[in-house]
Structure 1
Amino acid sequence: MAFIPTLDLAHWTKGTPEQRKQFAADLGKAYTDIGFVTITNHGFTDEMQAKLYSEVETFFGQDTRTKRKYEIASLAGQRGYTSFGREHAKGIPAKDLKEFWQVGQPEPAYNGPEYHDNVHVDERPDFAPTCVQAYQQLEGIGLDMLSAIATYLELDPDYFQPWVKGGNSILRAIHYPPITEDPGDSVRAGQHEDINLITLLMGASAEGLEVLNKQGQWVGITAIPGALVVNVGDMLQ
């Protein structure tokens, strides 16, 4: 973990003026040098994570036919289910060895008609509400991070708020099923850049996540338990 700095988000959300200033400076340096940071004391509770993981695990444990009921072509994968092997990284033809579910804002009418409604799962009535609850908690953490980034950039701490309030952020729950046959050129997720402002990665405590450093080396990243890995995307790069 020496490659990615670990910062205490409570120093920003509950800290003294000196702690907030130092947090913003450390965050800005990490994003300038690396593009990634690990945060602790972020406020996403163990209870919420356990509840989310339980619902997600149960959903993905259903048979393929049931899951594909919620793969709705008109939503283009922006909401609901995307089946195994359907997605691939930009410029890489090999399919990713994963399936996933996506959740967005719970009140699309507030955001505008261009945003899709979330998909509800008949077999799991608590699944969608749990995902939305987790989404809202994580969105709040993201807003805290953007506020610190704005401060580092010598902007008003609320600079990003009008641009992201009610925006099209997405919570993606990913399942990587066991590989039972030769995957060929496919990997779990092909190398890619994130196109958004920032990404919050939960569950990066397992091996597999790699970051390309400025020396052209791929470095494996494993976060400490309970921490979130937060990286900047193309919109901030």
Structure 2
Amino acid sequence: MTDSSNDIAVVSLDQPLENIADDLGRSFSEYGFAVIRDHGIPQELIDRAEAKSKEFFALPTEAKMKYKIEGGGGARGYTPFGVEKAKDAEIFDLKEFWHIGRSLPAGHELAEFMAPNIWPEEVDGFRDTFSELYSAFETAGGRVLEAIAIHLGRDPKFFVPTVEDGNSVMRLLHYPPLPEDAPDGAIRAAAHGDINTITLLLGAEEAGLELLTKEGTWKAVDVPEGALVINVGDMLDRLTNSKLRSTTHRVVNPKGEAVRRARFSMPFFLHFRPDYVIETLPECIEEGHESEAPAPISSHEFLLQRLREINLA
């Protein structure tokens, strides 16, 4: 099923991708966002992952801090409350999170770019659950990339070698109940764009996620239960010369009784390979404007630039 309109596309992945490619492309061009039903991630796995995430974040602070890796830029393990700031923001976000990345065998050619994962010993089944979810996210993300390739007029498998063994990261997010001593102006996630290729987000059903439209107004992203929110990251924006837009978005603070509730979500930041050179696709460059296309850059160097901007490197 596809809900086609001039609004954010809501599409089912359980159909030929040719049927949804242009709906996704239109939505990514206009809003940078789309919503995916029938994404193939089992509900049982989602429920189990949510339970394990809540179990970890309920641990005492001193237990969680054992897993903060000094000098690691937050790439693996635990990042405590009050660390990450959006680009150009002066106030930290009201969140804490855990990062899980790709596990590579010893001696792999890309091992220098990806630190080993660490796992909390206090939560039984944490490693198995999130290793399974990481793989399921990759499969769903691969399907979305196939649809994007079709929309761009490329072979459906165009993106496969670009993301093989990519530096993708799964984030377990906890936004605690709003603290009374929060700095003035602090919100759960300040306005920002994602660094990566595409982001797949579970747990956005609760109100709060908003995107900035081309007209400069904030638009709430309404998500059916169990659906995935997909948004374009800066790497794909750069590859397509902004034909597919990386849109500024935020998570605003709740109101009323929701102020007393925590919020949990699980975004998967799907990345290109570290050695993939992001060079604007020729079909995305207007004739006579070739010199205006962004300069080629490796995805790893691009990532490092952006991590420095958000206080994680």
Q: Which amino acid in 2 is paired with 1:123?
A: E
**Residues 104 and 132 of structure 1 are in contact (CA less than 8 Å); yes or no, is this contact kept in structure 2?**
no
**Residues 200 and 229 of structure 2 are in contact (CA less than 8 Å); yes or no, is this contact kept in structure 1?**
yes
Residue aligning to 1:10? 14
Residue aligning to 1:217? 217
Q: State percent identity of aligned pairs.
A: 41
**d(CA) in 2 for partners of 1:34, 1:190:** 18
**d(CA) in 1 for partners of 2:208, 2:50:** 19
Instruction: Provide the aligned length of Structure 1 versus Structure 2.
Output: 230
Residue aligning to 1:43? 40
SS of corresponding position for 2:211: strand
Gaps of 5+ in 1: none
Structure (1 or 2) with the greater strand fraction? 2
The one of 29, 32, 39 equivalent to 2:29 is: 32
SS of corresponding position for 1:235: helix
Residue aligning to 2:121? 122
**d(CA) in 2 for partners of 1:81, 1:162:** 30
**Residues 104 and 111 of structure 2 are in contact (CA less than 8 Å); yes or no, is this contact kept in structure 1?**
no
**Residues 108 and 116 of structure 1 are in contact (CA less than 8 Å); yes or no, is this contact kept in structure 2?**
no
**d(CA) in 1 for partners of 2:38, 2:208:** 24
Q: What is the alpha-carbon root mean square deviation over aligned residues?
A: 1.4
Q: Which amino acid in 2 is paired with 1:186?
A: A
1:5-45 Cα distance to aligned partner (Å, 9 max, x none): 1001111xxx3xxxx32211111111111111000000011
1:125-184 Cα distance to aligned partner (Å, 9 max, x none): 411221111011001111111111011111111111111011100000100111231322
Residue aligning to 2:92? 95
**Residues 85 and 96 of structure 1 are in contact (CA less than 8 Å); yes or no, is this contact kept in structure 2?**
yes
**Residues 95 and 188 of structure 2 are in contact (CA less than 8 Å); yes or no, is this contact kept in structure 1?**
yes
Query: Which segment drifts farther, 220-229 or 2-11?
Result: 2-11
**Residues 12 and 36 of structure 2 are in contact (CA less than 8 Å); yes or no, is this contact kept in structure 1?**
yes
**Residues 211 and 218 of structure 1 are in contact (CA less than 8 Å); yes or no, is this contact kept in structure 2?**
yes
Q: Which amino acid in 1 is paired with 2:152?
A: L
**d(CA) in 2 for partners of 1:65, 1:222:** 36
Normalising by structure 1, what TM-score? 0.93
Gaps of 5+ in 2: 238-313
Runs (4+) off by over 4 Å: none
**d(CA) in 2 for partners of 1:99, 1:192:** 17
**Residues 9 and 34 of structure 2 are in contact (CA less than 8 Å); yes or no, is this contact kept in structure 1?**
yes
Normalising by structure 2, what TM-score? 0.71
